[in-house]
Amino acid sequence: MRYDVNQDRGVLRRPGRPGAADPASLAAMSWTWQLEDPTGEPVDPATLGVEVLETDNQGDAESWLGENWRDLLERGIATVTLLRDGERVYGPMNLAAT
């Protein structure tokens, strides 16, 4: 699988999948996670040495979090918020067990 790196944002971008309806519309919508410290303040992923996956659908973004939440928690991330095109979809969501 190929990923494009956006160095300015510390984000990996997976291009639209072959056979998708309209690649231009997929590129226009992006799903990613905002990482937050224990006070709820956003954390720049680059300061943690983390690259947050930016996907073209919610399911892939949620899968990425499912694979990486423990590492994020160990690096001091307390909560995450799912963003679609920069707008909050849901969150903040606590990464620690309650």
The whole-number pLDDT of residue 7 equals 42
> What distance in Å separates the CA atoms of residue 1 and residue 40, rounded to the nearest whole number?
33
pLDDT at 15: 52
- Give residue 97's pLDDT: 80
Q: List per-residue pLDDT tens for the chain, 98 residues long.
A: 344 444 444 555 555 544 444 555 445 689 999 999 999 999 999 999 999 999 999 999 999 999 999 999 999 999 999 999 999 999 999 999 86
Nearest to 10 by CA among 42, 51, 71, 39: 51
For strands 11-13 and 52-54, give the pairing. Answer: parallel
Total domains, the chain: 1
In angstroms, the CA 72 to CA 51 distance is: 11
Encoded tokens for 49: 């040495």
Containing structural domain, residue 14: 4-94
